[in-house]
């Protein structure tokens, strides 16, 4: 099963993507309005959804909200070039990645492959560390759950992977390049702020401080550090 759903009202773009992705061994189905796109994404099984922001009947953000109510299918959002707000909102709502229009189809395929590698890595059985505990946060790799002070915290797949990397190297500075490679499965490119948006979303869900210490510190010009609380230091 290698089906991709494209939700975009640009019929020519849908045809172009169908032709190009079929050469990469994907089967593409296209829907040209938001409401039908949301219904189709939940009615069938896809390896990935490509979702435009500007859609008739229901915009891309509302479509993403609807999908995320009951599905974790990977979603790549298509945004207007230079519109950082759309990218930030999409990632915060649970999109796995984004591409600004116009884009090179080869770049889209690279993003799709990166998401597939990341998804397959989760499925492959390897003796993961069953639990990571740092301060008030406990992450369980086997059932992919996170608790803070005993309460369940709902994270997207990307946020979970990001937290797992940060906790496994708590107290250590991790570069943005390393985080993008480990969490998003690709190389960091110029002006790519997606990992920063995912860190911001993670901060909001976990709380910015623990034991009066900033939980996830920004190390300017380098990357991020998950702080060790007094009980872990």
For residue 227, give the DSSP letter: P
Q: Is residue 138 part of a domain?
A: yes
Q: Give the mean model confidence (pLDDT) for residues 191-200.
A: 89
Residue 49 near residue 112 (C-beta atoms within 8 A): no
What's 73's domain CATH number? 3.40.50.2300
Mean pLDDT of 99-110: 92
User: Average pLDDT, whole number, for the chain?
Assistant: 90
**Does residue 87 carry a pLDDT above 90?**
no
Where among 75, 101, 123 does a domain terminate? 123
The pLDDT score that the predictor gives to residue 185 is 85
Range of the domain at 182: 131-226
Write down which residue in 76, 95, 123 finishes a domain: 123
Q: 110-162 pLDDT, tens per residue?
A: 999 999 888 776 555 455 557 899 999 999 988 889 999 999 999 988 999 99
Number of domains in the chain: 2
In degrees, rounded to 5, the angle at the alpha carbon of residue 75 between the alpha carbons of residues 70 and 78 is: 135
pLDDT per residue as tens digits for the range 16-67 = 999 999 999 999 999 999 999 999 999 999 999 999 999 999 999 999 999 9
Q: Does residue 153 share a domain with residue 48? A: no
Domain check: are 118 and 144 in the same one? no
Helix ranges (DSSP H) in the chain = 11-22, 34-43, 60-68, 84-92, 105-123, 157-168, 176-179, 194-206
Q: Is 151 helix (H, G, I), strand (E, B) or coil?
A: strand
Last residue of a domain, one of 123, 156, 172: 123
Query: Rounded to an integer, what distance in angstroms lies between the CA atom of residue 224 and that of residue 91?
Result: 18
């Amino acid at each position: 099963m290698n089906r991709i759903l494209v939700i975009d009202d640009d019929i020519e773009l849908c045809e172009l993507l169908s032709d190009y992705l079929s050469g990469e061994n994907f089967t593409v189905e296209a829907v040209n309005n938001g409401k039908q796109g949301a219904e189709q994404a939940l009615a069938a099984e896809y390896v990935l959804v490509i979702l435009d922001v500007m859609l008739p009947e229901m915009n891309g953000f509302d479509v993403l909200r609807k999908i995320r109510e009951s599905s974790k299918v990977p979603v790549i959002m298509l945004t207007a070039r230079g519109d950082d707000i759309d990218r930030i909102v999409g990632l915060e709502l649970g999109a796995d990645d984004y591409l600004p229009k116009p884009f090179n189809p080869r770049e889209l395929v690279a993003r799709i492959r990166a998401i597939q590698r990341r998804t397959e890595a989760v499925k492959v059985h390897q003796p993961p560390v069953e639990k990571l505990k740092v301060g008030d946060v406990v992450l369980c790799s086997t059932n992919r759950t996170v608790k803070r002070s005993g309460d369940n915290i709902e994270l997207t797949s990307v946020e979970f992977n990001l937290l797992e990397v940060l906790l496994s190297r708590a107290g250590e500075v991790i570069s943005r390049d390393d985080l993008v490679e480990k969490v998003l499965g690709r190389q960091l490119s110029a002006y790519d702020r997606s990992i920063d948006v995912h860190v911001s979303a993670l901060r909001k869900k976990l709380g910015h401080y623990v034991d009066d210490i900033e939980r996830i510190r920004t190390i300017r010009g380098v990357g991020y550090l998950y702080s060790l609380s007094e009980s872990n230091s």
